[in-house]
Protein backbone atom coordinates (compact mmCIF):
# COMPACT_ATOMS: atom_id res chain seq x y z
CA UNK A 1 0.00 0.00 0.00
CA UNK A 2 0.91 3.66 -0.08
CA UNK A 3 1.48 3.95 3.66
CA UNK A 4 2.27 1.95 6.77
CA UNK A 5 -0.73 -0.09 7.81
CA UNK A 6 -1.30 -1.29 11.36
CA UNK A 7 -3.92 -3.62 12.74
CA UNK A 8 -5.95 -3.75 14.80
CA UNK A 9 -6.47 -0.02 15.27
CA UNK A 10 -7.96 -0.70 18.69
CA UNK A 11 -7.64 -3.71 20.96
CA UNK A 12 -9.20 -4.22 24.35
CA UNK A 13 -8.05 -7.28 26.24
CA UNK A 14 -8.15 -8.75 29.68
CA UNK A 15 -5.12 -8.83 31.91
CA UNK A 16 -3.14 -12.01 31.35
CA UNK A 17 -4.17 -12.54 27.73
CA UNK A 18 -1.73 -12.51 24.83
CA UNK A 19 -2.06 -9.98 22.01
CA UNK A 20 -0.57 -9.67 18.55
CA UNK A 21 -0.20 -6.38 16.73
CA UNK A 22 0.56 -6.31 13.03
CA UNK A 23 2.46 -3.86 10.88
CA UNK A 24 2.56 -3.76 7.09
CA UNK A 25 5.40 -1.41 6.13
CA UNK A 26 5.76 0.44 2.86
CA UNK A 27 6.86 -1.97 0.16
CA UNK A 28 10.62 -1.97 -0.26
CA UNK A 29 11.39 -0.29 3.05
CA UNK A 30 14.24 -2.11 4.71
CA UNK A 31 14.07 -0.54 8.16
CA UNK A 32 11.14 -1.10 10.52
CA UNK A 33 10.67 0.27 14.02
CA UNK A 34 8.19 -0.35 16.81
CA UNK A 35 7.56 2.40 19.37
CA UNK A 36 5.24 2.62 22.34
CA UNK A 37 3.47 5.81 23.34
CA UNK A 38 1.67 6.06 26.65
CA UNK A 39 -1.07 8.66 27.01
CA UNK A 40 0.35 12.13 26.50
CA UNK A 41 3.92 10.86 26.51
CA UNK A 42 6.77 10.64 24.03
CA UNK A 43 7.86 7.76 21.84
CA UNK A 44 9.49 4.85 23.62
CA UNK A 45 11.68 2.77 21.33
CA UNK A 46 10.94 -0.96 21.45
CA UNK A 47 12.63 -2.80 18.59
CA UNK A 48 14.29 -2.10 15.26
CA UNK A 49 14.71 -4.30 12.19
CA UNK A 50 17.16 -3.38 9.44
CA UNK A 51 17.38 -5.62 6.41
CA UNK A 52 18.78 -9.04 7.23
CA UNK A 53 20.66 -7.88 10.30
CA UNK A 54 19.81 -9.16 13.75
CA UNK A 55 17.09 -6.94 15.23
CA UNK A 56 17.93 -4.40 17.92
CA UNK A 57 15.74 -5.52 20.80
CA UNK A 58 17.27 -3.21 23.36
CA UNK A 59 14.03 -1.31 23.97
CA UNK A 60 11.77 -4.24 24.77
CA UNK A 61 10.62 -3.67 28.37
CA UNK A 62 10.41 -7.32 29.41
CA UNK A 63 10.58 -10.84 28.07
CA UNK A 64 6.81 -10.75 27.63
CA UNK A 65 7.43 -8.63 24.56
CA UNK A 66 8.70 -10.07 21.29
CA UNK A 67 8.59 -9.16 17.64
CA UNK A 68 9.38 -10.76 14.36
CA UNK A 69 9.58 -9.64 10.80
CA UNK A 70 8.82 -12.26 8.20
CA UNK A 71 10.36 -12.10 4.75
CA UNK A 72 11.69 -8.65 5.42
CA UNK A 73 8.19 -7.20 5.22
CA UNK A 74 5.31 -7.70 7.65
CA UNK A 75 6.11 -7.45 11.35
CA UNK A 76 4.20 -8.76 14.35
CA UNK A 77 4.64 -7.47 17.89
CA UNK A 78 3.50 -9.99 20.49
CA UNK A 79 2.79 -9.19 24.12
CA UNK A 80 2.28 -12.21 26.35
CA UNK A 81 0.39 -12.21 29.62
CA UNK A 82 -0.61 -8.57 29.21
CA UNK A 83 -0.55 -6.24 32.18
CA UNK A 84 -2.42 -2.99 32.72
CA UNK A 85 0.79 -1.01 32.34
CA UNK A 86 1.05 -2.35 28.77
CA UNK A 87 -1.89 -0.11 27.82
CA UNK A 88 -0.58 2.35 25.24
CA UNK A 89 -0.53 3.15 21.54
CA UNK A 90 1.93 0.97 19.67
CA UNK A 91 3.35 2.72 16.62
CA UNK A 92 5.13 1.09 13.72
CA UNK A 93 7.29 2.99 11.26
CA UNK A 94 9.38 2.10 8.25
CA UNK A 95 12.03 3.77 6.14
CA UNK A 96 13.80 3.05 2.88
CA UNK A 97 17.20 3.05 4.49
CA UNK A 98 18.52 3.63 7.96
CA UNK A 99 21.68 5.14 9.29
CA UNK A 100 23.58 8.38 9.26
CA UNK A 101 23.39 8.88 5.49
CA UNK A 102 21.77 11.97 4.05
CA UNK A 103 18.20 11.12 3.16
CA UNK A 104 18.09 8.26 5.58
CA UNK A 105 15.90 7.87 8.61
CA UNK A 106 12.85 9.51 7.07
CA UNK A 107 10.38 7.33 8.91
CA UNK A 108 6.80 6.94 7.80
CA UNK A 109 4.54 6.03 10.68
CA UNK A 110 1.35 4.06 10.80
CA UNK A 111 -1.66 5.37 12.72
CA UNK A 112 -0.90 3.02 15.60
CA UNK A 113 -2.66 0.26 17.48
CA UNK A 114 -4.28 1.40 20.70
CA UNK A 115 -4.09 -1.35 23.32
CA UNK A 116 -6.20 -1.24 26.45
CA UNK A 117 -5.64 -3.90 29.09
CA UNK A 118 -8.47 -4.18 31.59
CA UNK B 1 18.09 6.81 28.84
CA UNK B 2 16.66 9.78 26.98
CA UNK B 3 19.22 11.36 24.66
CA UNK B 4 17.20 14.25 23.24
CA UNK B 5 15.64 16.91 25.43
CA UNK B 6 13.01 19.24 24.08
CA UNK B 7 11.81 22.51 25.51
CA UNK B 8 9.37 23.78 26.32
CA UNK B 9 7.43 20.65 27.28
CA UNK B 10 4.19 22.40 26.43
CA UNK B 11 2.98 25.82 25.47
CA UNK B 12 -0.24 27.78 24.93
CA UNK B 13 -0.09 30.56 22.42
CA UNK B 14 -2.44 33.04 20.88
CA UNK B 15 -3.39 32.44 17.27
CA UNK B 16 -1.13 34.47 15.02
CA UNK B 17 1.85 34.37 17.34
CA UNK B 18 5.21 32.93 16.44
CA UNK B 19 6.43 29.79 18.23
CA UNK B 20 9.92 28.61 19.00
CA UNK B 21 11.03 25.28 20.38
CA UNK B 22 14.33 23.53 20.62
CA UNK B 23 15.98 20.18 21.01
CA UNK B 24 19.31 19.55 22.68
CA UNK B 25 21.54 16.57 23.22
CA UNK B 26 24.86 15.73 24.81
CA UNK B 27 25.65 13.70 21.69
CA UNK B 28 26.50 14.87 18.19
CA UNK B 29 23.96 14.19 15.46
CA UNK B 30 24.50 14.17 11.72
CA UNK B 31 20.81 14.43 10.94
CA UNK B 32 17.99 16.25 12.66
CA UNK B 33 14.37 15.53 11.89
CA UNK B 34 11.26 17.32 13.10
CA UNK B 35 7.95 15.46 13.28
CA UNK B 36 4.45 16.55 14.20
CA UNK B 37 1.85 14.25 15.70
CA UNK B 38 -1.82 15.12 15.44
CA UNK B 39 -4.20 13.59 18.00
CA UNK B 40 -4.93 9.96 17.18
CA UNK B 41 -2.37 9.80 14.39
CA UNK B 42 1.21 8.73 13.92
CA UNK B 43 3.95 11.38 13.66
CA UNK B 44 4.49 12.98 10.27
CA UNK B 45 7.79 14.38 9.04
CA UNK B 46 7.90 18.17 8.80
CA UNK B 47 11.51 19.03 8.06
CA UNK B 48 14.80 17.15 7.67
CA UNK B 49 18.21 18.73 8.28
CA UNK B 50 21.45 17.12 7.15
CA UNK B 51 24.18 19.72 7.54
CA UNK B 52 25.45 21.70 10.52
CA UNK B 53 24.28 25.30 10.31
CA UNK B 54 21.60 24.43 7.74
CA UNK B 55 18.45 26.52 7.84
CA UNK B 56 15.43 25.01 6.10
CA UNK B 57 11.90 26.30 5.65
CA UNK B 58 8.66 24.52 4.86
CA UNK B 59 5.85 27.05 4.59
CA UNK B 60 5.45 28.69 8.00
CA UNK B 61 7.98 26.33 9.53
CA UNK B 62 11.69 27.03 9.79
CA UNK B 63 14.22 24.69 11.34
CA UNK B 64 17.91 25.04 11.96
CA UNK B 65 20.64 22.46 12.49
CA UNK B 66 22.83 23.83 15.29
CA UNK B 67 26.44 24.54 14.44
CA UNK B 68 27.65 22.35 17.29
CA UNK B 69 25.51 19.49 15.90
CA UNK B 70 24.10 19.00 19.38
CA UNK B 71 20.95 21.04 18.97
CA UNK B 72 18.21 22.07 16.60
CA UNK B 73 15.47 24.68 16.59
CA UNK B 74 12.01 24.78 15.09
CA UNK B 75 10.07 27.97 14.57
CA UNK B 76 6.44 28.29 13.52
CA UNK B 77 5.34 31.68 12.29
CA UNK B 78 1.79 33.07 12.54
CA UNK B 79 0.37 30.04 14.34
CA UNK B 80 -3.08 28.74 13.45
CA UNK B 81 -5.39 26.29 15.24
CA UNK B 82 -4.29 23.32 13.12
CA UNK B 83 -0.77 23.72 14.49
CA UNK B 84 -2.03 22.00 17.63
CA UNK B 85 -0.23 18.74 18.31
CA UNK B 86 2.99 17.30 19.63
CA UNK B 87 6.26 18.21 17.94
CA UNK B 88 9.15 15.76 18.16
CA UNK B 89 12.75 16.14 17.19
CA UNK B 90 14.61 13.00 16.17
CA UNK B 91 17.99 11.89 14.97
CA UNK B 92 20.07 8.78 14.41
CA UNK B 93 22.15 8.13 17.51
CA UNK B 94 25.54 6.74 16.55
CA UNK B 95 26.02 5.09 19.92
CA UNK B 96 22.80 3.18 19.32
CA UNK B 97 23.70 1.87 15.91
CA UNK B 98 22.20 4.85 14.11
CA UNK B 99 18.66 3.92 15.00
CA UNK B 100 16.33 6.89 15.19
CA UNK B 101 15.94 8.39 18.65
CA UNK B 102 13.06 10.74 19.45
CA UNK B 103 12.96 13.69 21.78
CA UNK B 104 10.57 14.13 24.67
CA UNK B 105 8.17 16.24 22.62
CA UNK B 106 6.71 19.74 22.81
CA UNK B 107 2.95 19.89 23.10
CA UNK B 108 1.45 22.92 21.38
CA UNK B 109 -2.01 24.26 22.07
CA UNK B 110 -3.37 27.36 20.39
CA UNK B 111 -5.96 29.65 21.87
CA UNK B 112 -8.28 30.74 19.04
* Contact assignment for A56 to B92 by CB distance below 8 Å: no
Using an 8 Å CB-CB cutoff, list chain B residues near A110: 42
CB contact at 8 A, B5 and B90: no
pLDDT digits (tens, 9 = 90+) for A56-103: 999 999 999 999 998 879 999 999 999 999 999 999 999 886 554 555
Q: Is A32 on the interface with B (CB under 8 A)?
A: no
pLDDT of residue A63: 96
A73, A94 in Cβ contact below 8 A? no
Is there a contact between A42 and B105 if contact means CB atoms under 8 Å apart?
A: yes
Instruction: Establish how many alpha carbons lie within 13 A of residue B14's alpha carbon, considering only the half-sphere containing its beta carbon.
Output: 1
* Dist. CA B101–CA B33, nearest whole Å: 10
State the nearest Cα–Cα gap between A111 and chain B, in angstroms: 5
CB B100 within 8 A of CB B90: yes
Identify the pLDDT of residue B101.
85
Question: Span A106-118, mean pLDDT?
Answer: 93
Query: B42 vs A93: CB contact, 8 Å cut-off?
Result: yes
pLDDT tens digits for range B9-67: 999 989 999 999 999 998 888 889 999 999 889 999 999 998 999 999 999 999 999 99
How far apart are alpha carbons B49 and B66 in whole angstroms?
10
- Quote the minimal CA–CA distance from A81 to chain B in Å: 26
Q: Does the pLDDT value for residue B2 go beyond 80?
A: no
Kindly list the strands in the beta sheet with A65-69, ordered across the sheet, starting from the edge strand earlier in the chain: A5-7, A19-24, A75-79, A65-69
In the A/B pair of chains, how many CB contacts fall below 8 A? 70
Task: Mutation target for B interface from A38, A107, A111, A114: give the one with most B CBs within 10 A.
Answer: A107
**Tally of CB atoms within 10 A around B37:** 21
Amino acid sequence: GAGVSQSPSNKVTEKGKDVELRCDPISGHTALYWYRQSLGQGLEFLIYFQGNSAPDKSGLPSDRFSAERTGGSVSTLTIQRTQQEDSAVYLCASSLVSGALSGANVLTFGAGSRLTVL
Amino acid sequence: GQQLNQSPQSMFIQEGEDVSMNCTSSSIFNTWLWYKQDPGEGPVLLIALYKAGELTSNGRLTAQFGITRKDSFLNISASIPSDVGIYFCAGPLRSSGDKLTFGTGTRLAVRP
